[in-house]
Amino acid sequence: MLITFEGIEGCGKTTQLAMLLGHLRKKGMDVMAVREPGGTALGEKVRAILLNRHGGGEKEGISHWSELFLYEACRAQLVSRVIAPALEDGRIVLCDRFTDSTVAYQGYGRGLPLDAVTSINGWAAQGIRQDLTFLIDCPVEVGLGRAWSRIGSGGAAPEEREDRFEREEIEFHERVRRGYLEMAAKEPERIRLIDGSREIPDIHREICDIIDGMMG
């Protein structure tokens, strides 16, 4: 079973994924967690390029299409080396972002054609689809506020910070959020919309109720 966590910057999905991982392990389930971009040696190297503010070189930058293919390269590596073998072994995989992120960020956010993004997603994911997705939704100002306070307290030098997306304009993040909400409206069974502006334990309880209801 592949369960993914999605949402805008700072929505709290990484926090919730870690809490669900603990919950499922306590129940004795064979579960593992991965993140995108990353999760493999190659993926972590590309992640450093993608998320660093000078990733494409200070002047040159990263073009929108290059960005898309770099995310997809990370995904192809993660799926073939980690996710597919784990699913074949019957493990539950929790993934911090997956193909929906690319539709939301590169499609709705950057404005690349949605049909192209969806098609390339399919090739990179090699036919593997999410069984369930938690979309942790909150207003952009709330999410960015949380993300910025975490970056501010992180202690990394500015040139090493993973803040390329946090530096995008508010409208970019609004488009990403709208994309997610449209996807959730189209696939309500798979994409469960969770109000991420509440307290962390309340969100966790709702996610556990959904999972426990499904798994018994």
- Note whether 105 binds ligand T5A by CB under 6 A: yes
Q: How many CB atoms lie within 10 A of CB 116?
A: 13
Q: Is position 52 an interface residue for ligand T5A (rule: CB under 6 A)?
A: no
Minimum distance from residue 114 beta carbon to ligand T5A (Å): 13
**Residue 173 contacts ligand T5A per CB under 6 A:** no
Tell whether residue 161 is a contact of ligand T5A (CB under 6 A).
Answer: no
Angle value at C-alpha 108, between 121 and 104, nearest 5 degrees: 50
CB 117 within 8 A of CB 26: no
Nearest distance from C-beta of residue 133 to ligand T5A, angstroms: 13
| Residue 37 binding ligand T5A, by CB under 6 A | yes
Q: Show Cβ contacts of residue 143 under 8 Å, excluding neighbours closer than 6 positions.
A: 7, 8, 9, 10, 11, 173, 196
Give the residue, chosen from 3, 11, 79, 120, that forms a contact with ligand T5A under the rule CB under 6 A.
11
Q: Does residue number 162 form part of the binding site for ligand T5A (CB under 6 A)? A: yes
Provide CB contacts within 8 A for 106, sequence distance 6+. 64, 67, 68, 71, 112, 117
d(CA 205, CA 216): 15
Q: Taking CB under 6 A as the rule, does residue 137 contact ligand T5A?
A: no
- The site for ligand T5A (CB under 6 A) is made up of 7, 9-15, 36-37, 51, 71, 97, 101-102, 105-106, 146-147, 150, 162, 165, 196, 200, 203
